[in-house]
Amino acid sequence: MTVTILKPENAAQAADAVRWALSAGEPLEILGSGSRRGLGRPVQAGHALDLSGLSGVVAYEPEELVLTALAGTPMDVIRALLAERGQHLAFEPPEGGTLGGLVASGLAGPRRISAGSARDHTLGIAGVSGRAEAYKGGGKVVKNVTGYDVPKLMAGSFGTLTALTEITVKVLPAPEDSATLLLFGLDDAAAVAMLDRALRSPYEVSGAAHLPAGIAVRSGLSAVSGAGGAVTLVRLEGFGPSVAARVTMLREELRADAVLGRDESLAVWREVRDGEWLGAGTESHLWKLSVPPSAGPSTVEAIRRTLDVEVFYDWGGGLAWLAAPPDSGAAIRAALSAGGHATLVRAPEPVRAATDVFQPLPGPLMALSRRVKESFDPQGILNPGRMYAGL
Amino acid sequence: MKMPVPDSGVIARRREIVEALRAIVPGEGVIVDENELRAYECDGLTAYRQLPMVAVLPSTVEQVSQVLKACKAMGVKVVPRGAGTSLSGGALPLADGVLLGMGKFKRILDIDYANRCVTVQPGVTNLGISNAVAHEGFYYAPDPSSQIACTIGGNIAENSGGVHCLKYGLTTNNVLGLEMVLMDGTILRLGGKHLDAGGYDLMGIVTGSEGLLGVVTEVTVRILKKPATARAVLLGFPSSEQGGDCVAAIIAAGIIPGGMEMMDRPAIHAAEAFVHAGYPLDVEALLIVELDGPAAEVDHLIDRVEAIARDKGACYARVSNSEEERLAFWAGRKAAFPAVGRISPDYYCMDGTIPRKALPLVLQRMQEMSDRCGLRVANVFHAGDGNLHPLILYDANKPGELEAAEAFGNDILRLCVEVGGVLTGEHGVGVEKRDLMTDQFDEADLRQQQRLKCAFDPDGLLNPGKVFPTLHRCAELGRLHVHQGELRFPDLPRF
């Protein structure tokens, strides 16, 4: 399909573009830098609304813990700006892309278990609905319950409700120090039990992952890849003296085999965050399963009865990254008996067009989701089909 | 404050409506006696009172579903209620409405340490959750000051906060799953013991929706391990500017305290006279900074906070050296509202959030307003997150004082918005701030929020008259106005 790109330079032009699309009955694919196009279902649209022209930090007030930026602002710019003041986005999102793309994709990294996700840090939004109306929601302060929490709904809505033009996020001090305890040779169930012990401790664990033997060897860190088997990771972050004290206590309590200092700790959690260990150079598809943490290993075991998969765990067992053969969706989802959901996060475009990339919803929930979509975008102009066919 | 005009046709059908409810909830679960209905005539915003047409107290989710379905079929409005501690009138009944009391949903359903979460019915109190897991060293983090009485269902409706929410988040950051019933009786489950939604984050929109979108019948929250240590520093400043600067400098140093509260001179004096916490009386601003976490961290940060405070001009500093002393520091702050109640027949508690840097300006303008209207004001302030609680002192028995206090309060909230803040940080809009919504939001902003309401409750029967200043019919809101034509920006780059 030939795609015409509309590239507004400001929010008013973005509204004009949506107004035109609405009157012409032309759906729009909403783009920032395009770096997250592989997430979700491909959008069938003759026009793209490229918001990368809406770029720039509008306000950054470190002492107020807020940053407001135009939605197309590159995340690299925001990261660098925050780093200058020792701050960061605490939910540890993957690198690259734009702020709008990040919020729309609702992404978060290993610190999800302690710091929350993109939704928890999105304080305010402005954007253009599928009715071509410019509106705003939320606020620009860290504590606000005025009206519905529209910014939360935007997080993870993949541009199907609103073309975001401006976003206010909560920013927090980045930890001064980081260390990671390593435990060697545990099977999945024993590892998740140990992660549970760590997470039940008062030591404020901010990362809890398990790499089975076949995955651990792929780490770029020799302390992990050379362990000769499975490696379980427990991260402690914060002020130097605090990290040192907690490392000593938790190492004793978990009988950890080794400790990674700051640089190695930062490096290994980047690997955990990005999950690139899995399925590279193969035909397999990559899935992320969010399940009750204690059910992680049993869910994977159930999947293994019918499928040949590679897996590693984050979020204390609550997130399973899974590389599976094509056409595994039904079998994977059938294994979610303890609750949770499975999302296909890497697969060729034709596959994503033909599969349920996101967890299919029960009838009443799907009906409500449809009504929510219609309340913002009755004609299906914005990213139609990106999350669910016909929505 | 105008509520929607009661529908006399509905009131005339009261007997029929009561019969329908009795067919669903037998026996004493349907209340019609005027004396018994008095218990529901107001919530924590006691200036507004209204007897409901009838109250119904279901005890199962099926009953909730059938009650809502029946009310929808009969075209009857429903006002949900938890413990009735709302400070914004969120549970104010309607003369032509059914009051849906959730007080019978009191069971703790599941305590799951392996997944670090607890599932409860909505009528369980906030503190009840923490108490249920305290023996294992866990607690539920959000701690609104009404936590002994307020229920988790109400906390979901209001997205309640508390003194620890800068570090640990509001209700919305601590909820994992909900079961809820829509106005048409549909029972939905959102989330669970896992993280994140499979589709849209509907839990995010329901939390803080003030009972306008659905009735919550089950809640799963995450629980945290209690911090190993907590210590507090009491800091006094010769001016609120210096107090505010100190807060900013603490945060700029990368420190997020478990609690950081500020009181102004009138609040300090009222609190000290009431509980004798040992507060200094010769300061303009008093700051309580609590550090919690591992002992090594707390000791390290206490020293840093003290150094920052000295640098920012603190004229008084005292560190708690025992648990008793820490609790004494807090006793005054926690008793601030009743303490102000002792020095005035009535007080009106406001709840705006401001960018913290605007504090000196806001306090100064507030004093000018106070001088103008002749009503005193005392301030307590969740300093870390900019959430201001001005307490306006008045006497309801003096003609016109309540109205003057309300007008003063409205002016304060407008000022909060003017300096870049919001109308409410944790108490909700309810009826109290409903008519100020247009000061914070444009018509388009409010229309879109109301369309969202239509997706959940197309007839507008659930808690109408709250949050939105003007009610529109969903058909009118849903109408799409398409402006025909060309791209109106010829300079728009197209490739």
**B429, A147: Cβ pair inside 8 Å?**
yes
d(CA B474, CA B449): 11
Residue B378, pLDDT > 90, answer yes
Interface ipTM: 0.97
What dotted CATH number matches A4-173?
Answer: 3.30.465.10
Identify whether B247 is part of a domain. Answer: yes
Q: Are residues B17 and B88 in the same domain?
A: yes
Min Cα–Cα distance to chain B from A9, Å: 8
Q: Which two tokens stand for residue A135?
A: 């509106």
Note whether A333 contacts B: Cβ–Cβ < 8 A. no
Give B426-465 pLDDT, tens digit per residue.
Answer: 999 999 999 999 999 999 999 999 999 999 999 999 999 9
What CATH code is carried by the domain that includes residue B163? 3.30.465.10
* Helix A188-200, helix A240-254: angle, nearest 10: 130
User: What are the phi and psi torsion angles at B490 (to 5°)?
Assistant: -60, -25
* Extended beta strands in B247-284, E state: 259-264
Q: Which two tokens stand for residue B433?
A: 């701030």
For CA atoms A36, A37, A42, A43, give the dihedral sign.
Answer: positive
Note whether A26 contacts B: Cβ–Cβ < 8 A. no
Q: Quote the mean pLDDT of chain B.
A: 94
Note whether B353 contacts A: Cβ–Cβ < 8 A. yes
**A245, B296: Cβ pair inside 8 Å?**
yes
The pLDDT, as a whole number, for residue B491 is 46
Interface of B with A in 442-481 (CB under 8 A): 442, 444-449, 451-456, 467, 478, 480-481
> In B, which residues are within 8 Å of A20 by CB distance?
485-488
Average pLDDT over residues B461-471: 96
* CA neighbours closer than 13 Å in the CB half-sphere of residue B447: 15
Q: Is B177 helix (H, G, I), strand (E, B) or coil?
A: strand
The DSSP annotation for A108-167 comes to --TTHHHH--HHHHEEEEEEEETTS-EEEEE-SSS---SS--HHHHHTTSTTSSEEEEEE
The pLDDT, as a whole number, for residue B485 is 52
Question: H-helix or E-strand containing B403?
Answer: helix B401-418
Give B150-208 pLDDT, tens digit per residue.
Answer: 999 999 999 999 888 989 999 999 999 999 999 999 999 999 999 998 899 999 999 99
Residues 6+ apart with CB under 8 A from B248: A63, B356, B357
Q: Are residues B280 and B297 in the same domain?
A: yes
**A157, B482: Cβ pair inside 8 Å?**
no
* Helix B265-275, helix B323-334: angle, nearest 10: 120
Place of tokens 């620009």: A140
**The domain containing residue B210 runs over which residues?**
108-225
Largest CA distance in chain A: 67
- Tell me which chain B residue has its CA closest to the CA of residue A246: B294
Average pLDDT over residues A101-124: 97
* CA neighbours closer than 13 Å in the CB half-sphere of residue B137: 10
Decide: residue A342, CB within 10 A, 0-12 exposed, 13-18 middle, 19+ buried. buried
Q: Starting at the earlier edge strand, list the strands of the sheet with B97-101.
A: B30-31, B54-56, B97-101, B77-81
Among A365, A179, A385, residue whose Cα is nearest residue B197: A365
The pLDDT, as a whole number, for residue B268 is 96
d(CA A258, CA B96): 68
d(CA A188, CA B369): 64
Q: Distance between terminal CA atoms of chain A?
A: 20
- Considering only CB atoms, A146 lies closest to which of B386, B423, B495, namely B423
Q: Are residues B324 and B356 in the same domain?
A: no
Mutate which of B112, B200, B303, B457 to test chain A, going by most A C-beta atoms within 10 A?
B200
Give A164-202 pLDDT, tens digit per residue.
Answer: 999 999 999 999 999 999 999 999 999 999 999 999 999
Question: Facing residues of B118 across strands?
Answer: B111, B221
- Tell me which chain A residue has its CA closest to the CA of residue B163: A143
Residues 6+ apart with CB under 8 A from A149: A137, A138, B159, B172, B204, B205, B207, B208, B209
Contact B372, B364 (CB under 8 A): no
**B225, A200: Cβ pair inside 8 Å?**
yes
If phi over 0 gives left and psi between -120 and 50 gives alpha, with beta otherwise, what is residue A255? left
CATH topology of domain A285-354: Alpha-Beta Plaits (3.30.70)
Which pTM was predicted?
0.96
Among A81, A124, A95, A93, residue whose Cα is nearest residue A35: A95
Residue A379, pLDDT > 50, answer yes
Residue A390, pLDDT > 90, answer no
Residue B494, pLDDT > 80, answer no
**A143, B446: Cβ pair inside 8 Å?**
no
At A384, which amino acid appears? P
Q: Are residues B197 and B268 in the same domain?
A: no
Q: Starting at the earlier edge strand, list the strands of the sheet with A310-314.
A: A258-260, A177-184, A231-238, A205-211, A310-314, A319-324, A285-290, A341-346
Give B15-48 pLDDT, tens digit per residue.
Answer: 999 999 999 999 999 999 999 999 999 999 998 9
Contact B261, B387 (CB under 8 A): no
What CATH code is carried by the domain that includes residue B27? 3.30.43.10
Residue B210, pLDDT > 90, answer yes
Residues 6+ apart with CB under 8 A from B125: B83, B147, B148, B149, B150, B151, B152
Q: Which residue has the higher pLDDT, A390 or A16?
A: A16
Contact B212, B457 (CB under 8 A): yes
Contact B423, B413 (CB under 8 A): yes
Min Cα–Cα distance to chain B from A300, Å: 15
A71-107: burial string, b at 16+ Cβ within 10 Å, e else: bbbbbeebbebbeebebbbbbbbbeebbbbbbbbbbb
Q: Are residues B271 and B310 in the same domain?
A: yes
Q: What is the domain count for chain B?
A: 4
Q: Are residues B97 and B129 in the same domain?
A: no
Q: Which of B292, B322, B337 is the last residue of a domain?
A: B337
The pLDDT, as a whole number, for residue B495 is 44
> In A, which residues are within 8 Å of B452 by CB distance?
148, 150, 153, 372, 375
Give B230-247 pLDDT, tens digit per residue.
Answer: 999 999 999 988 999 999
Q: Are residues B246 and B217 in the same domain?
A: no
- Supply the DSSP symbol for B116: T
Identify whether B439 is part of a domain. Answer: no
d(CA B319, CA B296): 16
> In B, which residues are within 8 Å of A385 by CB distance?
none
Q: Are residues B57 and B112 in the same domain?
A: no
Q: Are residues B314 and B367 in the same domain?
A: no
Average pLDDT over residues A139-145: 96
| Residue B1: band (very low, low, confident or very high) from pLDDT cuts 50, 70, 90 | confident
Contact B251, B205 (CB under 8 A): no
Identify whether B490 is part of a domain. Answer: no
- Tell me which chain B residue has its CA closest to the CA of residue A197: B114
Q: Are residues B96 and B135 in the same domain?
A: no
Contact B242, B337 (CB under 8 A): no
Identify whether B212 is part of a domain. Answer: yes
Q: Are residues B144 and B236 in the same domain?
A: no
Largest CA distance in chain B: 73
The pLDDT, as a whole number, for residue B163 is 86
* CA neighbours closer than 13 Å in the CB half-sphere of residue B37: 21
Give B265-324 pLDDT, tens digit per residue.
Answer: 999 999 999 999 999 999 999 999 999 999 999 999 999 999 999 999 999 999 999 999
Question: H-helix or E-strand containing A213?
Answer: helix A213-216
Residues 6+ apart with CB under 8 A from A291: A299, A317, A318, A319, A320, A336, A338, A339, A340, B194
Choose the most confident range, by mean pLDDT, from A42-46, A383-387, B329-333, B341-345: A383-387
Beta-sheet pairing, A285-290 with A319-324: antiparallel
The pLDDT, as a whole number, for residue B490 is 46
The pLDDT, as a whole number, for residue B489 is 52
For CA atoms B355, B361, B365, B366, give the dihedral sign.
Answer: positive
Identify whether B484 is part of a domain. Answer: no
The pLDDT, as a whole number, for residue B492 is 52
Q: Are residues B283 and B241 in the same domain?
A: yes
Contact A144, B426 (CB under 8 A): no
Contact B412, B425 (CB under 8 A): no
Identify whether B1 is part of a domain. Answer: no
- Considering only CB atoms, B205 lies closest to which of A86, A148, A366, namely A148
Question: Facing residues of B393 across strands?
Answer: B347
Decide: residue B243, CB within 10 A, 0-12 exposed, 13-18 middle, 19+ buried. buried
The DSSP annotation for A167-183 comes to EEEE-EEPPSEEEEEEE
Give A48-96 pLDDT, tens digit per residue.
Answer: 999 999 999 999 999 999 999 999 999 999 999 999 999 999 999 999 9
Beta-sheet pairing, A172-173 with A162-170: unpaired
Note whether A312 contacts B: Cβ–Cβ < 8 A. no
**A292, B194: Cβ pair inside 8 Å?**
yes
